Chain A
Amino acid sequence: MRSCWLRAPRRVWAGGRRPRGSLTPPSSPVPAAAAPRPRRARKRRHRRGAPASPAAMSGLGAAAGPAWQRDSGGLSLLAEEPHGAAPVDFLQELPSCQSARRRRGGTQECRPALLGTAGSRGDAARAETGELADRPAREHPKSMAEKRRIRDSQQADTEHLTRWKKWRRTSSKSLKKALTEVKGLSSYLVLWRHDIHSIEGKFGTGIQSYFSFLRFLVLLNFIIFILMFSFVTLPTIISKYGIFNSTIAYISPKNIDDTCTIYKPSGNKGLIYFYTYLKDLLSGTGFLEVTSLFYGYYSIDAVWISIMRYNLPLAYLLATFAYLTLSSLWIIKRSVEGFKQNLVHDADPFQSYCNKVFAGWDFCITDPNAARLKHRSLQYELQDIGNVNSQVNLLVQYLPSMVITLANFIGPLIFAFLIRFEDYTPAFEIKLTLLRCVFVRLANIGVLLFSLWSQIAGCGSDKCKPCGYNYKLYPCWESDVGQEMYKLMIFDFIVILAVALFADFPRKLLVTHCSWKLVQWFGHKEFEISDNVLEIIYGQTICWIGTFFSPLLPAIATIKYFIIFYVKKIVLIHTRKPAARPIRASSSNFFFLVVLLIGLLLAFIPLGFSIARIPSSKACGPFRNFNTSWEVIPDTILQFPTGLQQILFGIASEAFAVPFFVILCIMMFYVIALARAHKRVVEQLREQLVLESRDKMFLIRKIAEAQRYP
């Protein structure tokens, strides 16, 4: 019965010309010669005559049919049914088969349809006849010769139309062609397209996802840099050099103790030793401190470009919010793309067996060695499936690991050691290791920032009474925080380079040329995706936190990731062998983005705290005249016209917020209820399908029997 889905269309084509506008009788003899797919004809002749799909017969009396037996997993036909020809003919006369044939383009009613609707060829279009004309020839799963025929028939169709419709159709077709051309050209502009493709071919899509992730971060940092540069740095530079007739307005701070405004950065003090120069370069002090790299440079209150007044403090704050929002939106969008639907079915798409089997093989692999490794990894994965029932274990697995993570901030090495004793599935292992290491690394930054702030705002013995912060140690505390972030970033970069140069290459040389047992046991280093991903997420979190205090930091991050891409690629190609453990591209993509999002959310905390709570430094920076950096916004709002002010205050008040929140909750409950209802409907439909198929086979058997014994 099932065979009719595919076989019937072949029958129609076998004649070489598709009859239009009529349904071919299902049992017409098939001319075997001149068939575009003769092997189908052969197949039909050799057909064993058994209905290819046995149904659940046990409930309907197994004795009736020949040797329908229940296997361990399902039903199968043990012996060929000798009179199979009759049921099969019936099967092909079934209305569902006819509609499948129509769906596959076996027949066609002459209905002119707009080609423009080809983009929305959903199932609705399928159900209609004349669907053939709706889809461009490219989207039909047929061979080239048949596609040409389809295109000719579509052309013939158009001759019936009026001139207007003809013009519309041709213009939409040419527009679509133009769009595909543009898309094709723009794919050439994608950064590192060839490199990533070759990595994909040699090492599979799992490792390739790491490099695409890196590319995404390079682009993100570049965009953030452009944002900050054009709104903050550029106006400052324009005004400082007096281009475009611009002037700077310095507003002297009122009500502020003079001691708070003393700030003497060391700056360019003439001749300096090379050692000092290097030290300054690495730690952001000295000559770097007074450049536009750090917050202290932007001690401007307003910029007048010709007659326009450009409010720099407001721009600074808004640019910060903009890049945070942009980052979060972009990451969320990317993660949603990689994780479609599956709200209706409970099964975890990444653990699904079908996903592993049908999409298990990377067709991009070109290297035989990689292929062998892939085979082996697939073998391990599929063997493991039998042993672990992951769904049940999931909750139990999560509980102890959460406790461990919270209570146990020991380093990644110990985690890796522990994981060998925890018998989790390989995919889960990777995720767990990654999560644990994420917590450790981000806690690292957290502790650093916390200690910084306790020093800045730590007013032990009246140290910060006049200004609100520790002005003696940190007259320009934002620059200092910026310097810390800058240092972290530079050292992170140096460490990555050093590990690549001094640990990986020597290790490879040692292992290949030295045959001591100990060295061989050490072995080649595998490309540990989790470690590498963590490194770059750590670096990105630093960049997000640091950009507020050091607007040019994203540029440094862009260059850093750019160089890291090539370094990692060279290391990968020359020293490491592909990981024996399989990594699924889609689930790893999603997971990287989730961890990145965690980093971003954690970056909100210190930024929010410093913008809203800690008083801004009075000696430097664009927020000298405000209590805290956040105050720029209420200040600006107060300058708006009264009507607008009232609207904004209204939005921020409780009278608006509470009903808004209630409405959001209602909408959420509605959507959840809708999803549940859909789920129920889907379950019912599935049950109905099973019953229908049983009914069908039962009836067909009855008919066959009736025919046999009239």
Chain B
Amino acid sequence: AYKRFSELLPKEERENAYSARVPKSQILTLPELRANPFQHRICHVFSTSETGDDSMSFEDFLDMLSVFSDSATSDIKSHYAFRIFDFDNDGILDRKDLEHLVNCLTGQGEESQLSGAEMEQLIQNILEESDIDKDGTINLSEFQHVVSRSPDFASSFKIVL
């Protein structure tokens, strides 16, 4: 992992890769993240950068790999998945977050988005399934509950270097 990380840095900074920060654009060149529609969110969630530019240090990189590895508990995975899907960072998944999520899944481009009615129906169904206290949003507990019943989550939320 250290090797992969240091490859992302320009040559002159490689010696002190432990303390260096890699800018977001470089991180996104990783093959594992390149094709991922959630790449920006992933960088944002794992970056502890104080300037908000979503750059990642080696520790952030390790954090990310550990969460996405096989040995992370499903608790941790669902916690971070929640934060990744929470596009407006308000701590809950409301309709806008869900809409954004579905659009990310179906791909960029006009023709790949769902129509308004389909989106409404889909979000309605999702909320019906997961919103336990019927407040129109999904909080962390509800998300973890619905994900624990989802058989595909553990196998899909995984990145192996």
Contacts and interface: CB of A to CB of B under 8 A. Distances in A.
A383 to B, nearest CB: 6
A361 B120 CA distance: 20
Contacts of B7: none
B89 A53 contact: no
Given A5-B139, A363-B68, A205 B114 contact: no
Contacts of B79: 141
Contacts of A358: 81, 85, 143, 146-147, 150, 153
Given A38-B52, A382-B102, A43 B34 contact: no
A385 interface: yes
Interface string A629-640: 000000000000
A379 B114 contact: yes
A144 B152 CA distance: 28
A371 B139 contact: no
A139 B129 contact: no
A399 interface: no
B15 interface: no
B49 to A, nearest CB: 9
B137 interface: yes
Interface stretch (A73-81, A447-455, A648-656): A73-81
Interface in A350-376: 350, 352-355, 357-368, 370-372, 375-376
Nearest to A590: B151
A407 interface: no
A383 B152 contact: no
B64 to A, nearest CB: 10
A40 B48 CA distance: 11
Contacts of A318: none
B62 interface: yes
B106 A379 contact: yes
B125 interface: yes
Given A354-B150, A375-B112, A3 B50 contact: no
A302 B59 CA distance: 67
B28 interface: no
Interface residues of B, number: 79
A26 to B, nearest CB: 15
Given A52-B92, A361-B105, A141 B76 contact: yes
Interface string B33-74: 011111000000010101010000001101100111011010
A6 interface: yes
B85 to A, nearest CB: 7
Interface string B98-118: 100110111100001010011
Contact of A2 (B76, B137, B150, B157): B137
A269 interface: no
Given A340-B151, A692-B133, A359 B156 contact: yes
Given A139-B75, A363-B157, A379 B127 contact: no
A54 interface: yes
Contact of A362 (B67, B112, B134, B156): B156
Given A205-B156, A358-B81, A360-B105, 8 more contacts: A56-B135, A74-B134, A139-B75, A340-B151, A354-B150, A364-B32, A386-B122, A690-B132
